[in-house]
Copies of this chain bind each other. A is one copy, B any other.
Amino acid sequence: MQYAEPITKLIKAFSRLPGIGEKTAARLALFVLNSRKEYAEEFAASLMAVKEKVSLCSECMTFSDVDPCPICSDPARDAGAVCVVSDFKDMAAIESMAGYRGRYHILHGSLAPLKGIGPDEIRIRELVSRVGTGRVREVILATGFDAEGDATATYIAGLLKGAANVSITRIASGVPVGGAVEYMDGATLGRAMDGRRTL
């Protein structure tokens, strides 16, 4: 089927999104065709706005339309605790827990030498200089527990080990809440066992 060229272009734009295949992209483009013109206009304007108005917070590297971001400029948030995450989405997940009152550092990736992602490709330098200011008391490494997340945490811990008066911690790995022990894999149970605490 030959779609008209503007439709083909829109399908192509949609299909570049993660998890959106050619068929779904065609369905989404058709939805836009069938919808009111205002929707397409608002959609287009919001696409432009995120690129024009949103940039990285110079403190924590999160996406924000103000600099420093609301969390970094909030005096109620402990500037001495910095939770290091790979991604904006990880930060969103921790924020949704609502119990953490420290601040963040977003790496925008994990170390993955096989994919060509080394320390210079992610925001590690910014973290090191932030710790260098002496205002950070604890760095909480909250990268994932896959190979890349673990390697990233280990690398950063090694880098910061020399920093005076900074404790470097790693969030716990183990059986998730609601998880049945019988269904856990051996690696998870091993971590859970290693991390056991006295009650």
Count of A interface residues, CB-CB < 8 Å = 56
Q: Which residue of B lies closest to A94 (CB)?
A: B1
A interface SS class:
helix
Q: How far is the CB of A21 from chain B (nearest CB, A)?
A: 12
Q: Is there contact, CB below 8 Å, between A50 and B18?
A: no
Chain A 28-46: CB-based contact to B (< 8 A → 1; otherwise 0): 1111111001011111111
A102-118 residues with Cβ-Cβ distance < 8 A to B are 108
A70 within 8 A of B: yes
A173 within 8 A of B: no
Also in contact, A13 and B95, with CB within 8 A (given A18-B27, A27-B89): no
A127 within 8 A of B: no
Of A3-11, A78-86, A140-148, the stretch lying at the interface with chain B is A3-11
Q: Is there contact, CB below 8 Å, between B40 and A51?
A: yes
Q: How far is the CB of A1 from chain B (nearest CB, A)?
A: 4
Also in contact, A46 and B9, with CB within 8 A (given A18-B28, A27-B89): yes
Q: Which residue of B lies closest to A53 (CB)?
A: B6
A21-79 residues with Cβ-Cβ distance < 8 A to B are 24, 26-34, 37, 39-51, 53-54, 63-66, 69-70
Also in contact, A10 and B92, with CB within 8 A (given A33-B63, A45-B44, A65-B5): no
Q: Is there contact, CB below 8 Å, between B7 and A50?
A: yes
Q: Which residues of B sit under 8 angstroms from A47, Cβ to Cβ? A: 10, 13, 32, 40-41, 43-44, 47
Q: Which residues of B sit under 8 angstroms from A6, Cβ to Cβ? A: 46, 49-50, 53-54, 65
A143-161 residues with Cβ-Cβ distance < 8 A to B are none
